Amino acid sequence: MQITITDVHKRYGDVVALDGPSFEIPSGSTFGVLGTNGAGKTTLFELLVGHDRPDEGRIEVGGIDVAEAGHRVRERVAFLPEHAGFPPAMTGREVLDVHARIRGLEDRDRRIHEALETVGLTDAADRAVEGYSNGMGRRLGLAAALIADPPVLVLDEPTAGLDPRGVAAFHRTIERLGRETETTIVLSSHVLSEVERLCDDVAILEDGHLRAAGPIDDLRSETGADDRVTVSLRPAGEGVRPDLLEAVQDRGDVTETRETIAVACERDAAFDLCGDLDSSLLDGFEVREPGLEAVFRDVLAGTDDESDDADREPDSDPTRATEEVSA
């Protein structure tokens, strides 16, 4: 089910939370909403699921205006908020039964069974929620969101606070939903590798403005991120690390990890770098293609000056984002 966001504005007192983003979320896609802290992601989700109304602009889900017909949209859109809580004494199954009843669903036992299976909570279904781990609680939230087979699923930072196993389980569930159903999945995350793994398309927000939107591959070439690579060098022992650092310091953006020294630079410069380095300093190296991180950095780097301007007025020009991306 396609979602269309058109010139949406939202203020909280003096704070401009959304300043006119316009973009489309393709039907059946897994779509990532990215942004710095306070960029407006949660605000956008609250408007998208009909919990609040925009001051100006429209959000349509499957052609229906959310602000005009919130009840019809709520039948189509399920939301997993960033902080979903459940009465601690209830079991997971009881929580899902309440959700199914609120939605007036028939065939509740089958739906509850399927939702529990989908998120991998069948064995814990009859335990009280207070005994659930953080990850199990998130998965119960997802099961509650899935119980009505919604055509649209909105997940606000779904893996925040989960341990690596919880994150992996969550990823598998989302990937399976994306592969096996027509569900349009919209999620926000600060973990770019997660978004790159799960999503086909993204929107990047900053201070309420849309900075870029579209398929990740298109953004890579539009932003020029495609022109750059990262050369990851493994020093031949800790003793030569300072020499290696000195040799690469003017060759690009240098970052160090415990094992490697990474140099992000233009493709031609990477070619020269690999040819010039003294091989006795190296245990090995690899060249990595630009990831979503490079796109994110390039998109936001083009707006550094503007993002300092906290008092700017709302911008009603929906073409603005396209201009900024190509800037």
Count of residues engaged in binding ligand ATP, rule: CB under 6 A:
11
Q: Assess contact for 35 and 206: CB atoms under 8 A.
A: yes
Comparing CB distances to ligand ATP, the nearer of 209 and 220 is: 209
Q: Which is nearer to ligand ATP, 12 or 319 (CB)?
A: 12
For ligand ATP, the closer CB: 14 or 268: 14
Q: What is the Cα Rg of the chain in Å? A: 23
Q: Which stretch binds ligand ATP (CB under 6 A): 31-39, 228-236, 242-250, 304-312?
A: 31-39
Residue 288's DSSP bridge partners are 230
Of the candidate spans 39-47, 101-109, 210-218, 260-268, the one that interacts with ligand ATP by CB under 6 A turns out to be 39-47
Beta bridge partner(s), residue 60: 4, 65
The interface with ligand ATP within residues 41-100 (CB under 6 A) comprises 41-43
Which residue from 17, 66, 100, 247 is in contact with ligand ATP, where contact means CB under 6 A?
17
CB of 101 to ligand ATP, least distance (A): 29
β 152-156/184-188 pair status? parallel
CB of 196 to ligand ATP, least distance (A): 18
Tell whether residue 39 is a contact of ligand ATP (CB under 6 A).
Answer: yes
Total H helices, total E strands in the chain: 13, 15
For the bound state, the minimum distance from the C-beta of residue 66 to ligand ATP, rounded and expressed in Å, comes to 16
Q: Whole-number minimum distance, CB 308 to ligand ATP, in Å?
A: 15
Among the listed residues 14, 37, 304, 311, the single contact to ligand ATP using CB under 6 A: 37
Q: Which span (40-48, 61-69, 177-185, 299-307) binds ligand ATP, by CB under 6 A?
A: 40-48
Three-state SS at 187: strand
Distances in Å between the Cα of 98 and the Cα atoms of 95, 140, 225, 309 are 5, 13, 48, 46
Q: Does 15 bind ligand ATP (CB under 6 A)?
A: yes
- Which listed range, 36-44, 114-122, 137-145, 258-266, lies at the site for ligand ATP (CB under 6 A)? 36-44
Interface with ligand ATP (CB under 6 A): 12, 15, 17, 35, 37-43
